[in-house]
C-alpha cells in the first residue's frame, strides 16, 4: 500500500500545491516551489498567524527585517561558534552522510557500513557581498528570523513607546544547510518562519512560557488540527539549544511519526545581553516604576510556515473508499476530500454553469462569479460533468460549489453545495453573499 506521505506528495503536485524546485533540470534537493493553490494556502496560514499574533493580541508589534545582515550578528548570537552545528558522520562504505543524533545504531542505515567519527558541521549558508569574494565580504543568509528582531529591540521599544512585557512578530525566509533534508517539505534548506519574541521581566518568564505554550497549542486546534495528533513535549536539559533555558516542542503526528512543528523557548537574556556585549549599544530595559535596569528575558514562539502547512495538509487529506458523490464513475474509486479549515481553504467558492453551451446560463454564471470574487476567493469552472467538477473541488477543499441551471434563469436561485455535508440548498442570488458569510 502506498504510504500516506507519498500520496500527499503526488497529490500536492497533481493539484498545483507544491512542485519540486528546478524540476525541468532534474530537481534541486530540499527546495520546493508552491503552486497556485499552495501559495494561497501558505498565505492563508500566514494571515491566520499574523492576525492572531498582531491583531488579536495586545502589545505585539510587527517587523520585516532584512535577510542579509551584518555577520557580526551571527558572531554575537553564537551561530558561527557555539551551537549552530550538527554532528555529521559519513559511511566508510557508501559515503552517505547522516546527522549523528538521528541515528538509532552506530552503523550506516543504508548499507550497514562502519561510520566515521562525528565532525561538527555548521548550518549557516555563506554568501558574498560586493564584488570581491574575500573574507571581508562574507556574510550569511539568516538561519532564523528572530535575530532581526533582537537587533531592532530598541528601535521598536522607542518608536512604539512600548513597555515590558511586549512582543515583536515577524514572518520571513530562513536558510539552513541541513545535512539530511528529508520528508518532503518537513526539512528544507530554504524555508519560512513565523516567529514571535516576547520580552518580559525575568521573574515572569515561567508564567509567560506556560501562557504562550497554551496559546500556540490552541491556535492549531482552532484551525481544525486533530487533537489526538497534537502534543507538547519538553526538551530534556542536556539536549537544549545553546541559547535555551527551557524548550517545548509542539509536535504533530505525521505518517512518519511525531515531529516538531513549532518550538517554544525561554531564551533568557542570551540574545539581548550578547548583542549588547558585541555591539556598542546597551539593550537593557529601564523600568520606570522601580528605576532599575535589566535585560528582559525572551519567550520565543517559532513555527515553520512550510512545516505547519505540511501538518495542515496531512490532517485535512481524507480519502473516501467507494466514493462519496456516488456518481457512476466514482463508485469503484477512492475520492479525496481536503477538509481544510474554512479560513485556510485556498478556494472558498466555485461557480459552475450547469452546461457551457447555453449562453444565458453562462452569462448568469459569470455575473454571479463577478459578484462573489470581490468577497471570497472564487473560481469559475465550466468543464466536465457536475459530478466530476464537485469531485475536483472536494479535492482542493473548496468550501462551496454554486451551480447555475435552467431554473436559475426563471427564479434567480442557485444550488449551493457544502463541501463537508454535501448538502444542497437553493439560495436566491441576491442573498448569496450573506448566506456564504453566515456559513
Q: For binding to ligand ATP (CB under 6 A), which residues are involved?
A: 144, 176, 178, 187-188, 191, 193, 260-263, 302-304, 306-307
In angstroms, what is the minimal distance from the CB of 396 to ligand ATP? Answer: 24
Decide: 84 and 143 in contact? Cβ < 8 Å: yes
In angstroms, what is the minimal distance from the CB of 34 to ligand ATP? Answer: 13
Is 249 or 375 the residue whose CB approaches ligand ATP more closely? 249
DSSP 58-111: TTEEEE---SB--HHHHHHHTTTTTS-EEEEEEBTTT--EEEGGG-SSSS-TTT
Is 139 or 147 the residue whose CB approaches ligand ATP more closely? 147
Cα 101 from Cα 155, distance rounded (Å)? 39
Decide: 3 and 255 in contact? Cβ < 8 Å: yes
Distances in whole angstroms, Cα of residue 405 to Cα of each of 56, 96, 386: 42, 60, 11
Distances in whole angstroms, Cα of residue 222 to Cα of each of 112, 113, 333: 45, 47, 32
In angstroms, what is the minimal distance from the CB of 36 to ligand ATP? Answer: 22
The cell for 277 is 556585549
In angstroms, what is the minimal distance from the CB of 123 to ligand ATP? Answer: 8
In angstroms, what is the minimal distance from the CB of 133 to ligand ATP? Answer: 26
In angstroms, what is the minimal distance from the CB of 263 to ligand ATP? Answer: 3
Is 229 or 388 the residue whose CB approaches ligand ATP more closely? 229
Is 265 or 348 the residue whose CB approaches ligand ATP more closely? 265
SS3 319: strand
The candidate with the shortest Cα–Cα distance to 265, out of 243, 284, 283, 285, is 243
DSSP E strand stretches across 349-436:
349-353, 378-380, 400-404, 413-418, 424-428
CA-based R_g, the chain, Å: 25
In angstroms, what is the minimal distance from the CB of 253 to ligand ATP? Answer: 15
Is 142 or 187 the residue whose CB approaches ligand ATP more closely? 187
Amino acid at each position: 500500500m502506498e504510504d500516506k506521505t507519498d500520496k500527499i506528495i503526488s497529490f500536492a503536485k497533481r493539484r498545483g500545491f507544491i512542485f519540486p524546485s528546478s524540476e525541468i533540470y532534474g530537481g534541486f534537493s530540499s527546495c520546493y516551489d508552491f503552486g497556485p493553490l499552495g501559495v494561497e494556502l501558505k498565505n492563508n496560514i500566514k494571515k491566520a498567524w499574523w492576525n492572531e499574533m498582531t491583531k488579536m493580541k495586545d502589545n505585539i508589534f510587527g517587523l520585516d527585517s532584512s535577510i542579509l545582515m551584518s555577520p557580526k550578528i551571527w558572531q554575537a548570537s553564537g551561530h558561527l561558534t557555539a551551537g549552530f552545528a550538527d554532528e555529521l558522520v559519513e559511511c566508510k562504505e557508501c559515503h552517505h552522510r547522516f546527522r549523528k543524533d538521528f541515528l538509532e545504531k552506530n552503523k550506516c542505515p543504508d548499507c550497514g557500513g562502519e561510520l566515521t567519527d562525528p565532525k561538527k558541521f555548521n548550518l549557516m549558508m555563506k554568501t558574498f557581498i560586493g564584488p570581491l569574494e574575500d573574507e571581508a565580504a562574507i556574510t550569511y543568509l539568516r538561519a532564523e528570523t528572530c535575530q532581526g528582531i533582537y537587533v531592532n529591540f530598541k528601535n521598536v521599544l522607542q518608536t512604539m513607546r512600548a513597555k515590558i512585557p511586549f512582543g515583536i512578530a515577524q514572518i520571513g525566509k530562513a536558510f539552513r544547510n541541513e545535512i539530511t533534508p528529508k520528508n518532503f517539505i518537513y526539512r528544507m534548506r530554504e524555508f519560512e518562519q513565523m516567529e514571535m519574541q516576547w520580552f518580559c521581566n525575568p521573574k515572569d518568564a515561567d508564567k509567560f512560557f506556560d501562557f504562550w505554550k497554551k496559546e500556540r497549542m490552541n491556535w492549531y486546534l482552532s484551525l481544525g488540527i486533530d487533537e489526538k495528533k497534537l502534543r507538547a513535549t519538553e526538551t530534556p536539559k542536556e539536549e537544549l539549544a545553546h541559547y535555551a533555558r527551557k524548550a517545548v516542542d509542539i509536535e504533530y503526528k505525521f505518517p512518519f511519526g511525531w515531529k516538531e512543528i513549532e518550538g517554544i523557548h525561554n531564551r533568557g537574556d542570551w540574545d539581548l545581553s550578547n548583542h549588547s556585549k558585541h555591539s556598542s549599544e546597551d539593550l537593557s530595559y529601564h523600568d520606570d516604576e522601580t528605576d532599575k535596569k535589566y535585560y528582559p528575558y525572551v519567550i520565543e514562539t517559532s513555527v515553520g510556515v512550510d512545516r505547519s502547512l505540511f501538518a495542515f495538509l496531512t490532517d485535512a487529506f481524507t480519502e473516501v473508499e467507494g466514493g462519496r458523490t456516488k456518481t457512476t464513475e466514482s463508485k469503484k474509486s477512492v475520492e479525496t476530500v481536503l477538509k481544510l479549515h474554512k479560513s485556510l481553504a485556498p478556494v472558498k467558492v466555485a461557480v459552475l454553469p450547469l452546461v457551457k453551451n447555453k449562453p444565458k446560463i453562462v452569462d448568469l454564471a459569470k455575473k454571479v462569479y463577478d459578484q462573489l470574487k470581490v468577497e471570497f476567493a472564487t473560481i469559475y469552472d465550466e468543464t466536465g460533468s457536475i459530478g466530476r467538477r464537485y469531485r475536483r473541488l472536494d479535492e482542493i477543499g473548496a468550501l462551496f460549489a454554486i451551480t447555475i441551471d435552467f431554473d436559475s434563469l426563471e427564479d434567480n436561485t442557485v444550488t449551493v453545495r457544502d463541501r463537508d455535508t454535501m448538502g444542497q440548498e437553493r439560495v436566491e442570488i441576491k442573498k448569496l453573499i450573506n448566506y456564504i458569510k453566515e456559513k
